[in-house]
Amino acid sequence: MLKIGGYTFASRLFLGTGKYADARTQKEAVQASGTEVLTFAVRRMNLFDESQPDPFESMDLSGFRLLPNTAGAKTAEEAVRIAHIAAAADMCDMIKVEVIGCDKTLLPDPVETIKASETLLGEGYTVLAYTSDDVVLARRLQDLGVHAVMPGAAPIGTGLGIINPYNLSHIVEQADVPVIVDAGIGSPKDAAQAMELGADGILLNTAVSGAGNPVKMAEAMNYALEAGKLGYEAGRIEKKYYAQASSPTEGLSRL
Amino acid sequence: MLKIGGYTFASRLFLGTGKYADARTQKEAVQASGTEVLTFAVRRMNLFDESQPDPFESMDLSGFRLLPNTAGAKTAEEAVRIAHIAAAADMCDMIKVEVIGCDKTLLPDPVETIKASETLLGEGYTVLAYTSDDVVLARRLQDLGVHAVMPGAAPIGTGLGIINPYNLSHIVEQADVPVIVDAGIGSPKDAAQAMELGADGILLNTAVSGAGNPVKMAEAMNYALEAGKLGYEAGRIEKKYYAQASSPTEGLSRL
Amino acid sequence: MLKIGGYTFASRLFLGTGKYADARTQKEAVQASGTEVLTFAVRRMNLFDESQPDPFESMDLSGFRLLPNTAGAKTAEEAVRIAHIAAAADMCDMIKVEVIGCDKTLLPDPVETIKASETLLGEGYTVLAYTSDDVVLARRLQDLGVHAVMPGAAPIGTGLGIINPYNLSHIVEQADVPVIVDAGIGSPKDAAQAMELGADGILLNTAVSGAGNPVKMAEAMNYALEAGKLGYEAGRIEKKYYAQASSPTEGLSRL
Amino acid sequence: MLKIGGYTFASRLFLGTGKYADARTQKEAVQASGTEVLTFAVRRMNLFDESQPDPFESMDLSGFRLLPNTAGAKTAEEAVRIAHIAAAADMCDMIKVEVIGCDKTLLPDPVETIKASETLLGEGYTVLAYTSDDVVLARRLQDLGVHAVMPGAAPIGTGLGIINPYNLSHIVEQADVPVIVDAGIGSPKDAAQAMELGADGILLNTAVSGAGNPVKMAEAMNYALEAGKLGYEAGRIEKKYYAQASSPTEGLSRL
């Protein structure tokens, strides 16, 4: 079971709710993924702007935990304000702090992320911090008290997979709180790899919503997390340079 | 469903039977993997050498297809002789032609592999040919009439995963018969990747038998194949250089 | 020409002076490398601890610029103090700010690195900041006014090469000051790759001092930087999925 | 010095002569590369088809060895015929056997390559055999007596670099004749890597002729081969998982 703050989850997949072709596809993908946590951009909700669609209109939200994110924030101040809005609307079981520092890569700003996390932790929020894969930064966030660190595998929406498995591995090795790999996952093998490296869960969106068949891809991701998690627990073989016969045939009687 | 010659399989995982710690672990791993095809080295069997253990002594083989391999052969002639022995013992639903051309890498000899495949096809065998990931060689084997081509991901037992996804992808693109990735798989993510590249199945042994917990790893591989297969069918997103927001927030009312 | 603050260099290789077998090897490696900048850990010098060897005792330092680093510092305060010592000893043409935040990876602490850089810039130092390959952090340091950013290719002394070419590429794309790749270079191809990605220079130490033949490796690195720099300027071909004949033979008379 | 059959070369770069924008660029690129061996497709020459341009019209060929290739051949028979034409025209110091087995990847046909090499060796040619990176096939060609094996790094013209360094490394380890990496080199770092893996030389064409500035890229490649060769001889450091300080600062007096 995955524990984040006061919550416990059987599924280790967090699913974003953006960019589905239609509400029905979104709903079926959510079901196929087995997720218990829905994540969404507060600024995309029609909380304050009724011209925006309600991404949850056709969803029965009971049975799900909501993880709003502060996407669109470029400063700690903006992120905190967005969190307040989500909480006021009662849509904030947990909050994902996301403060973007670069328009081209959508990579997070380390300084503002620290500030926003500190403030929201002080106010009692359950904070999950989206961060680069900087090893020391991840530990600094943990030291602040965040309830989970969310290092990116690659920039948001690129589908490049885990560019730096080395850093992810060190983040996991040093983590006392759950590590949820967030952003950059492109296909099931990437999700499996993250779990094999010891991640506690994965957040993804585009890899599912942008797939040819989002529902089938959601199911694939569900299996991939299971595969990776079991593989991590089972303990993989070491890599070798020279080949090793599966069934050594030395010393056998000649045929 | 996977069809090879006259056989049809729901599971796309072929499991080797070598190097398990004990018969019980082997049996449970086979069950957990969901495999319908057991593969083994004929020269490792006690068909003619009773001092050898019987790897199947505690197994109920009904419900499985047997895929003996010609491991230990260094020439076409030896491979053919090994196939005849397996057939005579009634342990040969299909035959995996494996003619090793290098002691250090256990990589196959292309010329002898072609010869052995040609002979056994002429004798009516259902032939699966273990080959390097040479794109043209795979097609040459297909042109001979083999029932499946089995390109290696990496040398046997190394666990290095799919070293050359490019070649595998081209082999799949040009294949009219099933492509079963054989050798080199180290962990579930490798199995998922092979399936995402369009492989029809995977044969593995050491990755399971050599894992810390072989039974759990067998289960992981089962999920990984499912994940990769579904991912391939679903159609993954394209990789991008610049980031793409999951929930674009341009043009939203300022908070 | 490479310009950093008020200095100009024809060579783009900065060479560390640690861990050579003997002074003569060090001296010859420095010559073979063509470097104009020698870097060293202030805390390793015998400025205040005469029991330490003087790494420069057999070197004629005229013709070199000295780049002391603050290795050993875990806080901004310590880094600043080390810089002051180097300056007081008149061994500080420039200063490399290095504040380590992790004993296992020796990766830098982003928060303390920013603080130390800010202080030393305020005091008029020419500051080169060692940083992780975090894209936003590199720009933040640049915005502070550092004279060069020094992203690591991989952790110090690992020789893993450029683990994340993606981040390095984005750092270069957004940089207004020179980008000197620092740490993790293992072999000439890594140095060439860094320069091909648009880096302005490279700092390395272990790859040379730890090589079988440090003098020959220093020469190799000198060539590698030249190769990579010219390759970057020349503009490489794009990568393609399908092959393209060097000398197309379609439409030729049949032989 | 590189020795192939009866020839000896100071430069380890073989340069193709196809696809340059104009004769002058070609000539200058050849000079900048330092090559002593020019390679060309016989079927591209105007030996028998005067409508074809003469790629050497502005070149002084004295001082160069000519390596015609059999590009365009799909069978051993065609390759042999092309070699005969080149020899008859006195343009054949050595012959590169190239028998393509796949239109999309331009990868070589192993069976026809073996046949053509055998025939031409029997006729006394100095044979360099273009092959895939199949480890056993490379040794089979060597056993036939070819004067050099030329494994591809990646398909011709793709610029993908060394996709499978593992195979190349094993080919080198088992080789008694020179290994010339042929095809797929995209940039100087690829050339350096091939040499660091122990290759004896490199043949390239598109990476230079297709570069933004072919002359500058030719010069870059020249440096890259030197860097990689020296790096191989010097002996690189081993890769490590944990960081290692360049200048350890443990046990130093506190500052």
Spatial distance between the Cα atoms of D215 and D22, rounded to a whole number of angstroms? 12
- Minimal Cα–Cα distance from D163 to chain B, Å? 6
Q: Per mean pLDDT, which range of B237-246, C72-81, C148-157 is the poorest?
A: B237-246
Report pTM.
0.92
Domains of chain C, by residue range, sit at: 14-233
Q: Is B217 helix (H, G, I), strand (E, B) or coil?
A: helix
- Top residue of D217, D237, D241 to mutate, by most chain C CBs within 10 Å, is D237
A21 vs A216: which has the higher pLDDT: A216
Query: B22: which residues sit within 8 A by CB, 6+ positions away?
Result: none
C58-104 residue pLDDT tens? 778 888 999 999 999 999 999 999 999 999 988 889 999 999 998 88
Is C210 an 8 Å CB contact of chain D? yes
pLDDT averaged over 10-residue windows placed end to end, chain D, 255 residues: 95 92 92 95 75 71 91 96 92 94 91 97 97 96 97 92 95 96 96 98 96 97 98 95 71 51
Spatial distance between the Cα atoms of A14 and D188, rounded to a whole number of angstroms? 42
Token pair in block for residue C24: 């003569």
- Provide, as residue numbers in chain A, all residues whose Cβ is less than 8 Å from the Cβ of C104: 170, 173-174
Distance of CA A82 to the CA centre of its chain: 20
By C-alpha distance, which of B183, B222, B230 is closest to B204? B183
C128-146 residue pLDDT tens? 999 999 999 999 999 999 9
Instruction: Consult the annotation and say whether C205 binds a ligand.
Output: yes
Spatial distance between the Cα atoms of C244 and C126, rounded to a whole number of angstroms? 49
Is C90 an 8 Å CB contact of chain D? no
Using CB atoms and an 8 Å cut-off, which of residues 113-172 of chain B contact chain D?
A: 114, 132, 134-137, 139-140, 154-155, 160, 163-164, 166-167, 170
Give percent of chain D with pLDDT exceeding 90: 76
Spatial distance between the Cα atoms of A111 and A117, rounded to a whole number of angstroms? 10
Residue A166 binned pLDDT confidence (cut-offs 50, 70, 90) = very high
DSSP character string of chain D: -EEETTEEES--EEEE--S-SSHHHHHHHHHHHT-SEEEEEGGGSSSS-TTS--TTTT---TT-EEEEE-TTB-SHHHHHHHHHHHHHTT--SSEEE-BB--TTT-PBPHHHHHHHHHHHHHTT--EEEEE-S-HHHHHHHHHHT-SEEEE-SSSTT-----S-HHHHHHHHHT-SS-BEEES---SHHHHHHHHHTT-SEEEESHHHHTSSSHHHHHHHHHHHHHHHHHHHHH-PPPP-SS---SS--TTPPP-
Q: Give the other-Cβ count within 10 Å of A122's Cβ.
A: 10
pLDDT score of C52 more than 70: no
Q: Which of B17, B156, B235 sits opposite A245 (nearest CB)?
A: B156
B7-9 and B2-4 beta bridge pairing: antiparallel
Considering the segment(s) D14-233 as one domain, its CATH architecture is Alpha-Beta Barrel (3.20)
Query: D145: which residues sit within 8 A by CB, 6+ positions away?
Result: D121, D127
pLDDT score of B255 more than 60: no
Q: Are A172 and C104 in contact (CB under 8 A)?
A: no
C160-195 residue pLDDT tens? 999 999 999 999 999 999 999 999 999 999 999 999
B78-129 residue pLDDT tens? 999 999 999 998 888 999 999 999 888 899 999 999 999 999 999 999 999 9
- Top residue of C134, C141, C174 to mutate, by most chain A CBs within 10 Å, is C134
D45-76 residue pLDDT tens? 766 666 766 767 777 888 899 999 999 999 99
Instruction: Consult the annotation and say whether B243 binds a ligand.
Output: no
Instruction: Consult the annotation and say whether D184 binds a ligand.
Output: yes
- The mean pLDDT value of chain B amounts to 91
| Nearest-Cα residue of chain D relative to residue C190 | D189
Distance of CA B6 to the CA centre of its chain: 18
Q: What is the structure's pLDDT at D91?
A: 86
Q: Which chains touch D (3 or more CB pairs under 8 A)?
A: B, C
Average pLDDT of the segment spanning C221-229: 98
- Top residue of A136, A156, A168, A172 to mutate, by most chain C CBs within 10 Å, is A136
Q: Where are the alpha helices (DSSP H) in chain B?
A: 23-33, 76-88, 110-122, 135-144, 165-174, 188-196, 206-209, 214-234
- Top residue of C102, C230, C233 to mutate, by most chain D CBs within 10 Å, is C230
Distance of CA D64 to the CA centre of its chain: 16
Residue whose pair of structure tokens reads 């297809």 in the numeric block: B65
Token pair in block for residue D31: 């000079």
Q: Are A237 and B156 in contact (CB under 8 A)?
A: no
Residues for chain B: how many in total?
255
Q: What is the structure's pLDDT at B150?
A: 98
Between chains, do A107 and C164 touch, taking CB under 8 Å as contact? no
Q: Per mean pLDDT, which range of A38-52, A179-193, C70-84 is the poorest?
A: A38-52
Q: Which of C104, C134, C139 sits opposite A132 (nearest CB)?
A: C134
- Minimal Cα–Cα distance from C107 to chain D, Å? 8
Is D50 an 8 Å CB contact of chain C? no
C-alpha dihedral sign at D47, D50, D52, D58 = positive
Three-state secondary structure string covering chain A: CEEECCEEECCCEEEECCCCCCHHHHHHHHHHHCCCEEEEEHHHCCCCCCCCCCCCCCCCCCCCEEEEECCCECCHHHHHHHHHHHHHCCCCCCEEECEECCCCCCCECHHHHHHHHHHHHHCCCCEEEEECCCHHHHHHHHHHCCCEEEECCCCCCCCCCCCCHHHHHHHHHHCCCCEEEECCCCCHHHHHHHHHCCCCEEEECHHHHCCCCHHHHHHHHHHHHHHHHHHHHHCCCCCCCCCCCCCCCCCCCCC
Spatial distance between the Cα atoms of C171 and C184, rounded to a whole number of angstroms? 17
A48-95 residue pLDDT tens? 666 666 767 777 888 899 999 999 999 999 999 999 999 998 888 999
Q: Are A125 and A143 in contact (CB under 8 A)?
A: no
Q: Are D192 and D224 in contact (CB under 8 A)?
A: yes
pLDDT score of B253 more than 80: no
| Nearest-Cα residue of chain B relative to residue A84 | B255
- Provide, as residue numbers in chain D, all residues whose Cβ is less than 8 Å from the Cβ of C222: 227
Question: Exposed, middle or buried by CB within 10 Å (0-12, 13-18, 19+), for B60?
Answer: exposed
- Minimal Cα–Cα distance from A125 to chain C, Å? 23
- Provide, as residue numbers in chain C, all residues whose Cβ is less than 8 Å from the Cβ of A163: 163-164, 166-167
Please give the helix or strand (H or E) that residue B66 lies within, else none: strand B65-69
Q: Are C117 and C146 in contact (CB under 8 A)?
A: yes
pLDDT score of B59 more than 90: no
Spatial distance between the Cα atoms of D221 and D29, rounded to a whole number of angstroms? 10
Q: Are D62 and D89 in contact (CB under 8 A)?
A: no
Q: What is the structure's pLDDT at A254?
A: 47
Q: Are B174 and B135 in contact (CB under 8 A)?
A: yes
By C-alpha distance, which of A203, A163, A227 is closest to A12? A203
- Provide, as residue numbers in chain A, all residues whose Cβ is less than 8 Å from the Cβ of C170: 102, 104-105, 107
Spatial distance between the Cα atoms of D118 and D112, rounded to a whole number of angstroms? 10
Question: Exposed, middle or buried by CB within 10 Å (0-12, 13-18, 19+), for A50?
Answer: exposed
Q: State the catalytic residue, choosing from B27, B96, B216, B240.
A: B96
| Nearest-Cα residue of chain C relative to residue A74 | C136
Between chains, do B81 and A255 touch, taking CB under 8 Å as contact? yes
Q: What is the structure's pLDDT at D50?
A: 67
Average pLDDT of the segment spanning C31-40: 94
Instruction: Consult the annotation and say whether D46 binds a ligand.
Output: no
Between chains, do A247 and B19 touch, taking CB under 8 Å as contact? yes
Q: How far apart are the first and last CA of chain D?
A: 53
Instruction: Consult the annotation and say whether C206 binds a ligand.
Output: yes
Spatial distance between the Cα atoms of D205 and D19, rounded to a whole number of angstroms? 8
For chains B and D, CB pairs below 8 A equal 86
β-sheet bridge partners, residue D178: none
Give percent of chain A with pLDDT exceeding 90: 76
Distance of CA B79 to the CA centre of its chain: 18
Q: Is B27 helix (H, G, I), strand (E, B) or coil?
A: helix
Between chains, do D166 and B170 touch, taking CB under 8 Å as contact? no
Q: Which of A40, A188, A196 sits opposite B196 (nearest CB)?
A: A188
| Nearest-Cα residue of chain A relative to residue B220 | A227
B181-223 residue pLDDT tens? 999 999 999 999 999 999 999 999 999 999 999 999 999 999 9
D72-119 residue pLDDT tens? 999 999 999 999 999 998 888 999 999 999 888 899 999 999 999 999
Is A198 an 8 Å CB contact of chain B? no
Q: Which of B18, B189, B252 sits opposite A192 (nearest CB)?
A: B189
Q: Is C128 helix (H, G, I), strand (E, B) or coil?
A: strand
DSSP for residue C42: G
Between chains, do B19 and A155 touch, taking CB under 8 Å as contact? no
- The verdict on whether D240 is a catalytic residue reads no
pLDDT score of A35 more than 90: yes
Distance of CA D7 to the CA centre of its chain: 16
Token pair in block for residue A102: 């670069």
Q: Which of D111, D135, D154 sits opposite B102 (nearest CB)?
A: D135
pLDDT score of A214 more than 70: yes
Q: Which of A160, A196, A209 sits opposite B188 (nearest CB)?
A: A196
Q: Tell me, what's the ipTM? A: 0.91
